[in-house]
Amino acid sequence: MSAYWALGGRVGIGTLAIAIQEQVDDRAFIAVVWVTAALKVAAGLVALALVRPWGRRLPRRVLAVGVWGAAGVLLLYGGAGWVQAMLWEVGVHDVPATMGDRAAWWKLVFWDPFWLLGGVLFLAAARRCRARAFPRE
């Protein structure tokens, strides 16, 4: 999605915070979106390295750090964001004007669960990577 949006695609933009929607044509913002696209590709390559033959050429510890790091970042980002969105939804905190009610709802039901799922999958991959790198005897 990041590359699609950086290239000018607009489908799904309405699910994002109002503050983000207002910046979609800003060059600096587009550069940030390209950086996030590159990070997502890098995370995908780390995941592929676990199951592809070329991944065996990478040092196991480096690969493990990448997988555990991705799992941790995704779980923290998705988990904290989901809790925040839940607090908005139940009325404990007001939805910031820069977010908007629609984006807050999408954050709760789609975006943050998506990040959490990615974290869970990377966590499962990290556990498998550890088991292969450090087998029990």
Please determine, for residue 38, whether its predicted confidence score (pLDDT) is greater than 90.
yes
Confidence class for position 137, pLDDT limits 50, 70, 90: low
Q: Is the pLDDT of residue 135 over 70?
A: no
Residue 89, exposed/middle/buried by CB under 10 A (0-12, 13-18, 19+)? middle
Spatial neighbors of 103 by CB under 8 A, at least 6 apart, are: 15, 16, 17, 18, 20
pTM of the model as a whole: 0.87
